Chains A and B, each alone.
Chain A
Amino acid sequence: MAATQETVEQVQNLEMDKYKYGFVTEIETEKAPKGLSEDTVRFISAKKNEPEWMLEWRLKAYRLWLTMPEPKWGKLDLPEIDYQDSYYYSSPKSMEDRPQSLDEVDPELLRTYEKLGIPIKEQEVLAGVAVDYVFDSVSVATTFRKQLLDVGVIFCPISEAIQDYPELVKKYMGSVVPQGDNKHACLNSAVFTDGSFVYIPKGVRCPMELSTYFRINELNTGQFERTLIVADEGSYVSYLEGCTAPQRDENQLHAAVVELIVMDDAEIKYSTVQNWYPGDEDGKGGIFNFVTKRGICKGKNSKISWTQVETGSAITWKYPSCILQGDNSVGEFYSVAITNGRQQADTGTKMIHLGKNTTSRIISKGISAGKSQNTYRGLVRVAAKADGARNFTQCDSLLVGQTCGAHTVPYIESKNRSARLEHEATTSKISDDQLFYCRQRGISEEDAVGLVVNGFCREVLQELPMEFAVEAQQLVKISLEGSVG
């Protein structure tokens, strides 16, 4: 397969650049035909052995997608995307070509793992080492899954949910992010390959963070992930997606969809750490990360809390949002977005207040370094019937160096006079005085930048699940290496 060979070479060439932490595992893949057509959609659906209704749903999305324009409103310099020049399905085929031990893994990558404080066993899994431990991780996963099922929590790949829980999937998939929401979400609806499905039954507090499990098992689902989480009345779940460890993917275009549905008195806490390959110093080869994440607080007193730490990707286009339909429901958005090199991020949130006495809170911390552009874009909308709605928004931007940009674009639309909306925004720079102060106390310039930036992000980082908070701090620091001096 000449095309595969070409891709592998291309990825290897990328390895020569300054992305110190990326890695490539050469795996034989079974690919769908290049390009996007109804045949591609049928191929994917057949590979997944999907029922007819799912195929129809996908095809409907595909036909809609053909008619949709690219969203162009982000402050992003977007290259033209050639959708026919991509593969839309590839599954890992064999373990044999993987590294057989950590000795065979790029030492730079291992150093990054070490800096992040990731345990050895997890390092092996993350680096794709084909050892017996892979069996261990399967059994670990099975143990977790049994523990979850004992309390009625369903947590499985979405492809399995389509087979095993078709009624739940039919009812909720596309109910928060409709197929035609935007072109990227529509593409995902047509060609999504995998992702997760979570259902928390009434009154159940999920006995674990759905993160440990996730980190070990859901790697390489990559390109067109689709996640659906339903929290029934009075339930609670905390879910962590992504990984502090750097992730490389030969597919440049990523378009994920996440939908959250929260019933009366229930809560979903959704945390993301995104560290996809950002591209070389000219911005070439990085991942385009176009994500549609939205949750609905359907029931009264329900709550959705989004926390994100975005450090990777060449282009990030992402607005995790909350529809606050139930009375007294609460939406939160905590975000750290770091851009360095030539990275571009246009990220923020939408808080749609529909129910009475709904409250939302937005804390956004944007850090720009290098020649990057970092934009916060947020919408707070209060509907006519949303009496007593309240929002607090705080957008802080921190600039490192002279050649980067930070932008804040808040949209506020209120149709109800009782709404109380507050917006605060600041822009600051890491000052020479701060750096000198730290250095005079013995802290190196690079560590000083890490320290100051971590302080700047503290309000957001402390929202992360404990086990990830420390790694995230390290990640923040690593992301800015080379940005000063």
Chain B
Amino acid sequence: MLEIKNLHAEVDGKSILKGINLNINKGEVHAIMGPNGSGKSTLANVLAGRDDYDITEGSVLFDGKDISELEPEERAGEGIFLAFQYPVEIPGVTNTTFLKEALNAQRKYRGEEELGGMEFVKLIRSKTKELGIKDDMLKRAVNVGFSGGEKKRNDILQMAVLNPKLAVLDETDSGLDIDALKIVAEGVNKLRAENNAILVITHYQRLLNYIVPDKVHVLANGKIQRTGGKELALELEEKGYADYSGEAA
């Protein structure tokens, strides 16, 4: 589904990713771990197409299609979803409005019919129920006054409604206490399916206790240094990243 070949990228002219190779197939969960400054978040932003994150070499194929020239909203329409480390507040815009705009924009991109009010409400209700999220959250402005945990759950709700092919979780565990972490992980696990894939980016191993990956990659100095099974995460937790970088993690 996702094929990254020899990906080089820079931010503000500074080279960060220096030749990444990564293949993710349908139904798989991959984890990328690495020390601070290794390029983890850069990779997430490059995949999502953020401005100022420039690909200088290599390619990113998604379902066989080169997405490197697509706008962020087009990549979203293709089925790439990014759960943010710090979800953004949008005052005055309710979650319902936001979700409807987003879903219908994606459907339009894909040439599907936009959902009307009733159909949309039905869909969104079924998702809140599935994730155990209270409906009053829908009436609140996007992430405004939300606790850290609520923000992350809101991202998971968005993910459930938008139903992406590939979800990239960018340090979604940062700032979460253990209860919130479990809830978020539970939400992600509910969304695991044969047809989609998940890329978990994290500094710590603990999230992977709850979202168990098929593969773990160690990213350091802009390159994937090692790939292994879920046990690799435990090893990293024990030994740290000292083996992979010049600096201590």
Contact = CB atoms under 8 A, between A and B. Distances in A.
Interface of A: 431-434, 436-445, 447, 451-452, 454-459
A451 B93 contact: yes
Contact of B73 (A445, A454, A457, A458): A445
B44 to A, nearest CB: 10
Given A440-B75, A455-B90, 4 more contacts: A439-B72, A441-B158, A447-B101, A451-B93
B88 A431 contact: yes
Contacts of B91: 455-456
B90 A436 contact: no
A301 B101 CA distance: 42
28 contacts: A434-B88, A434-B89, A434-B90, A436-B48, A437-B84, A437-B88, A438-B90, A438-B98, A439-B71, A439-B73, A440-B75, A440-B82, A440-B84, A441-B98, A441-B102, A441-B106, A442-B76, A442-B77, A442-B105, A442-B162, A443-B105, A444-B71, A445-B71, A451-B90, A451-B98, A455-B90, A455-B141, A456-B92
Interface string B13-54: 000000000000000000000000000000000001011000
Contacts of A451: 90, 93, 97-98, 101
B175 interface: no
B102 A459 contact: no
Contact of B50 (A431, A436, A444, A452): A436
B87 interface: yes
A439 B92 contact: no
Interface string B89-115: 111110001100111011001000000
A443 B73 CA distance: 6
A442 B73 contact: yes
Contacts of B84: 437, 440
A439 B81 CA distance: 11
A459 B141 CA distance: 12
B248 to A, nearest CB: 30
A478 to B, nearest CB: 16
Nearest to A437: B88
B87 to A, nearest CB: 7
Contacts of B75: 440
Given A439-B71, A439-B72, A444 B105 contact: yes
A451 B93 CA distance: 7
A455 B106 CA distance: 21
The 10 closest A-B pairs by CB, nearest first: A455-B92, A455-B93, A458-B92, A441-B102, A442-B106, A442-B76, A439-B72, A437-B88, A442-B105, A439-B73
Nearest to B80: A440
A441 B90 contact: no
A456 B142 CA distance: 12
A431 B72 CA distance: 16
A440 B72 contact: yes
A443 to B, nearest CB: 5
Given A432-B51, A436-B51, A447-B105, A441 B92 contact: no
Interface in B102-141: 102-103, 105-106, 109, 141
A436 to B, nearest CB: 6
A442 B98 contact: no
B73 A444 contact: yes
Interface in B138-182: 141, 158, 162
Contacts of A457: 92
A376 to B, nearest CB: 18
B221 to A, nearest CB: 26
Contacts of B88: 431, 433-434, 436-437
A441 B93 contact: no
A438 B101 CA distance: 9
B112 to A, nearest CB: 12
Contacts of A431: 88
Contacts of A447: 101, 105
B169 to A, nearest CB: 13
A437 B81 CA distance: 10
A452 B76 contact: no
Contacts of B86: 433
B76 A441 contact: yes
Contact of B102 (A434, A442, A458): A442
B100 to A, nearest CB: 10
Residue from B84, B87, B93, B98 with most neighbouring chain A CB atoms (10 Å)? B93
A459 B84 CA distance: 28
A439 B141 contact: no
A399 B92 CA distance: 16
Interface in B47-83: 48, 50-51, 71-73, 75-77, 81-82
B230 to A, nearest CB: 28
A454 B158 contact: no
A114 to B, nearest CB: 16
Given A456-B92, A458-B92, A440 B48 contact: yes
Contacts of B101: 443, 447, 451
Nearest to B161: A441
B90 A443 contact: no
A438 B103 CA distance: 11
Contacts of A433: 86, 88
Residue from B50, B72, B81 with most neighbouring chain A CB atoms (10 Å)? B72
